[in-house]
Amino acid sequence: MDIRAVVNGFRNVVPLPGLADAWHWSPVPGLDFAAVLSRDRRHFFQIHAPLGLWR
């Protein structure tokens, strides 16, 4: 599976500045996600937070 291609297909996804293979997206108001791909591109680490934490 090409994780980068999957994530880049998410609605409202943007890269996180200064980090390789890291993204932020908000699929619905009030729910924000951020994720990063491990250096070997085998692991995907994702967190979520209330709206506003990433802005």
- For residue 53, pLDDT beyond 90: no
Please name which of 27, 28, 34, 29 lies closest in space to residue 54, comparing C-alpha atoms. 34
Q: Average the pLDDT over 37-47 and give the result.
A: 93
User: What's the domain count of the chain?
Assistant: 1
* Per-residue pLDDT tens digits for 6-29: 999 999 999 999 999 999 998 888
Examine residue 55 and state whether it is found in any structural domain, yes or no: no
- For 14, the token pair is 């943007």
Q: What is the pLDDT of residue 43?
A: 93
User: Which domain does 9 fall in, by range?
Assistant: 3-50
Examine residue 30 and state whether it is found in any structural domain, yes or no: yes
Examine residue 46 and state whether it is found in any structural domain, yes or no: yes
| Whole-angstrom distance, CA of residue 31 vs CA of residue 11 | 13
DSSP SS3 for 23: strand
